[in-house]
Structure 1
Amino acid sequence: MPRVSGDAGVSEVPIVGHLTGFVDELRARGIVVGPSSLIDSARAMEVLDLLDRRSLREGLAATLISDQMHRRVFDTVFDLWFPLGTGARTTVTDLPRTSDGGVDVEAMRQMVAEMLADDEAAADGRLDQMIALIVDEFGRYDSTRGEAFSAYQALSTVNPQTLIARIAAAMAGGGDDDGAVGDRPGTDPMYRRAARARASDLRAAIESETQRRMAGRNGRDRVADYAVPPLPENINFLSAGANDLAEIRRTIGPLARLLASKLETRRRRAHRGAVDVRKTLRASMSTGGVPIELSHRRPRPGRPELVVICDVSGSVAGFSQFTLRLVYALRQQFSKVRVFAFVDTVDEVTDFFDRGADDEDFGASMHRMITTARISTRDGHSDYGNMLKGFVEEYGESLTHRGALLILGDARTNYHDPRLGALRELTDRARHAYWLNPEARRNWGTGDSAATEYAEVIEMFECRNATQLGRAIADLLPV
């Protein structure tokens, strides 16, 4: 039976066991892999060249993942379970040196840019060798446990973002057209887009090489604990960076379609109408007075109204923006959607979002709303109590027995009066009222959080990521 090297290259395991372990790791990371997919991947490995990592990667990806949003996690786990090898790599080139023997950083950056622009450099392995040299030279450091490697150190020296112009210029110089706008080569948008993509690939390759070296030193499992990113739908809203938020936004379309289907199914089931007691008893006469078949009243047509109040202060802006995008993707499921935003003062902002539905327009709408709406008139810090009081006074009539109220925020009042009475009045007016909180439940009621107090008045749910948010909306919103 074929065998492959295990952790640190010190043991060998049957390839079937190795594949099963790899799939178990994917499942542990949240990727759903069924038994049939595992069998398909094993059959694929029978016909693939196991020494060709690119073919092996693509073959396993095609059989094991069904959502391309999970590809980043898959690739990271693949690199740990099917590494190029262990230890330092053999190279036939060297980094450019100065007269005193040090690395000529500028010359090295130019060489890397030219390699990234040259497709043959990637095909013949020269680029991989250069990446290994960079990690060895700039990523190596001495830790308390001995030699270690840091992707941050290597990337800080190479700085892929600054290479975009050089890559574009090198790509333009290799074609029939100089790709110049004015006197600057490589400024054509086509070259710039390709250069940005290759700079991003360089960053990923340096991170992958660093992880490979650290896995050989510390073991695959320890490196996986910090190296494998969470799935986009499991990224914490409050700790997400700019790149993470972009990943989360790409989940909106698929999640909205899934939720729309669930809401429509619930609507069909719920709209049978209440039991008509008179008709049921009349029909039971044929069965001796035993109501075997229930008769239902004709359902009342119509879709519910939805009122959303969201905190758009800096601490929860990412969560509120994502939730608003999701709500607007589902707006056809409701007869009317009204949106109110606040920092310390509440204002209706529905008109800002009715103008555009696509991602770019929505981002512009958020910026326009934050800069022009009357949502901060006091000290600029979240004040839920003042918001609730103002909403009751100015917009209380927007809540009806046909609608639902959805409040988005972390309930951190900055020690202002929480005004529980105003919240109680709003929940009494609405048919359904829910509060979605992006903080972990264990943090509710700590510091300036009034979450535990508000939770006594309104149903509050933890929504730290897209998975929890989607579950809450599918289960809670009225139909």
Structure 2
Amino acid sequence: MARRETSLEGRVAPTPLDDVPLVGQLTGFVEALRGKGMPVNPSALIDAGRAMSVLDLLDRTSLREGLAATLLTEQNHRIVFDKLFDLWFPPAPGVRTTTFELPHNVEGEIDVEATRDMIADLLADDDAERDGRLAELVAQIVDQLGRYESTRGEAFSAYQAMSVVSPQTLIAKIAAAMDSGNDGSAGRAGTAERYRAAARARAGGLRAAIESETQRRMAMRNGRDTVADYAVPNLPENINFLSAGAREQAQIRRTIEPLARLLAAKLEIRRRRSHRGQVDVRKTLRASMSTGGVPIDLIHRKPRPHRPELVIICDVSGSVAGFSQFTLRLVYALRQQFSKVRVFAFVDTVDEVTEYFDRHTDDGDFGAAMHQMISEARISTLDGHSDYGNMLRGFAAEYAESLTHRGALLILGDARNNYHDARIDALSELVDRVRNSYWLNPEAESVWGTGDSAAPQYAQVIQMYECRNVTQLGEVIADLLPV
């Protein structure tokens, strides 16, 4: 990385790192990764520096993959890595020069349909990305379609540009353009579908390129740290359960299985180490004979770690259903740690739904289990709004026998009771029947008790924990289970 200079004595001395701009660029990039929560240790930084010393720095693809190979420890972090890479190692500074001109109509305005046709033709060309024409077109799209005047001056919006271009509507045009340039093989079975699949991929690539170029232009004006704060997403394990969209939920799902494997190994070791058998009185007394009958060393029987029973009661109403589904995925992945797992769901009425999840556990299709359960189970018989009080009363009346002194109770929900009776007495009855009981709440603790939240009341009876993302969920499960 550092240049080396020969001193007057003939010895080779390294140039100070501060004098090498590229070193600062790399360390700044690593600090940005750490700021987003990625674990990058000093040895990985050194490896990245060594990789950069042998890579062609003008080849961004090679540079990106080289840094990813040395700095990334989780593949799920790749999206965040790529976003930060584009900010710290942009294709080029300044405004791009281009020979493209978007078509205009007779009124002098940009002709949207003609622009879409031109974009489709270019995306259908396999050589467009290699010779740089696609990058030039993207620069023109952002400059002419994404530009707007803000209170702070000129700005660029990826949303504004894409709302005009509408990449999703381009798929048919791209596929048609690819078909028009074929060698007469379109009649073969499956060819049209292959064109359409390729068109979808290229339309998605166009969207990503527009977003990247917009962020580059905004970073030129506001600085990359400012842009990173709002343009670079959170790591999948730090995405808020309650605000996650469809794409974010898919990312969260991919983090559950590796987290479960890690937790299973840790929990098994902890369970075996933490359980000690009862004192063996006979052996202890025999051993005490050597110390005058004083039992200085207690001898324990061989420990027999038991696998506890687990009962889960989960709120499946509204956005809380996503949190419940992710938690159930994690618990079912750890079900070997328990002798039995029973699941109960509710909106305003509680019903056992264990069979739905047992049925879909092998193929991991929890989405189908949730859909079938919500459609068929008796979980809403009143007004369709969450009613924790009615659920607790019903559970105590119908399913109290499912709770034993050997088991644990896990309640999943935000405790927003729509101003119904909280029925603290029913919750106390359930808690008294089990060895351990916990409540996982997907809302921030700072909003417990606001509005219709009965969380503070329930927290007086049961241990309640904030679980807003996978990181918190994993920490809580690792600390609490097995019990």
TM-score in same-fold range (> 0.5): yes
Paired residue for 1:15? 22
Identity of aligned residues (%): 74
Q: Is the 8 A contact 2:272 2:305 kept in 1?
A: no
Give, in angstroms, the shift of residue 285 of structure 1.
2.7
Give, in angstroms, the shift of residue 194 of structure 1.
2.9
TM-score (norm 1): 0.93
The 2-side partners of 1:368 and 1:362 are apart by: 10
Paired residue for 2:11? none
Q: Is the 8 A contact 2:315 2:412 kept in 1?
A: yes
Amino acid corresponding to residue 218 of structure 1 in structure 2: N
Deviation by residue 1:175-213 (Cα, 9 ceiling, x = unmatched): 45655699xx9641x333333222222111111100000
Unpaired runs of 5+ in structure 1? 4-11
Local SS of the residue matching 1:122: coil
Amino acid corresponding to residue 134 of structure 2 in structure 1: L
Give, in angstroms, the shift of residue 298 of structure 1.
3.0
Q: Return the match for 1:440 from 427, 441, 444.
A: 444
Q: Is the 8 A contact 1:140 1:149 kept in 2?
A: yes
Local SS of the residue matching 2:128: helix
Could you tell which deviates more after superposition, 57-66 or 349-358? Answer: 349-358
Map of 1:408-419 to 2, 5 A cutoff? 408-419=412-423
Q: Return the match for 2:164 from 157, 160, 178.
A: 157
TM-score (norm 2): 0.92
Paired residue for 1:108? 115
Give, in angstroms, the shift of residue 370 of structure 1.
0.6
Amino acid corresponding to residue 323 of structure 2 in structure 1: F
Q: Return the match for 1:478 from 470, 476, 482.
A: 482
Paired residue for 2:286? 282
Q: Return the match for 1:258 from 256, 262, 268.
A: 262
Give, in angstroms, the shift of residue 228 of structure 1.
1.1
Q: Is the 8 A contact 1:170 1:186 kept in 2?
A: no
Give, in angstroms, the shift of residue 357 of structure 1.
2.2
Amino acid corresponding to residue 197 of structure 1 in structure 2: A
- Structure 1 vs Structure 2 CA RMSD: 2.2
Amino acid corresponding to residue 110 of structure 1 in structure 2: D
Give, in angstroms, the shift of residue 316 of structure 1.
0.7
Local SS of the residue matching 1:435: strand
Paired residue for 1:29? 36
Unpaired runs of 5+ in structure 2? 4-18
The 2-side partners of 1:51 and 1:399 are apart by: 64
Give, in angstroms, the shift of residue 215 of structure 1.
0.5
- With over 3 angstroms needed to count, the CA separation of the structure-2 counterparts of 1:57 and 1:278, relative to structure 1, is same
Q: Return the match for 2:468 from 458, 464, 467.
A: 464
- With over 3 angstroms needed to count, the CA separation of the structure-2 counterparts of 1:186 and 1:130, relative to structure 1, is farther
Paired residue for 1:51? 58
Local SS of the residue matching 1:165: helix
Paired residue for 2:197? 193
Give, in angstroms, the shift of residue 445 of structure 1.
0.7
Q: Is the 8 A contact 1:410 1:449 kept in 2?
A: yes
Paired residue for 2:77? 70
- With over 3 angstroms needed to count, the CA separation of the structure-2 counterparts of 1:376 and 1:284, relative to structure 1, is same
Paired residue for 2:90? 83
Paired residue for 2:455? 451
Local SS of the residue matching 2:343: strand
Give, in angstroms, the shift of residue 144 of structure 1.
1.2
- With over 3 angstroms needed to count, the CA separation of the structure-2 counterparts of 1:356 and 1:286, relative to structure 1, is same
Q: Is the 8 A contact 1:311 1:317 kept in 2?
A: yes
Q: Return the match for 2:176 from 162, 166, 169.
A: 169
Paired residue for 2:320? 316
Paired residue for 2:219? 215
Residue correspondences, number = 469
Deviation by residue 1:287-334 (Cα, 9 ceiling, x = unmatched): 455656542123335411111000000031110111111111111221
- With over 3 angstroms needed to count, the CA separation of the structure-2 counterparts of 1:324 and 1:149, relative to structure 1, is same
- With over 3 angstroms needed to count, the CA separation of the structure-2 counterparts of 1:390 and 1:290, relative to structure 1, is same
Give, in angstroms, the shift of residue 50 of structure 1.
1.2
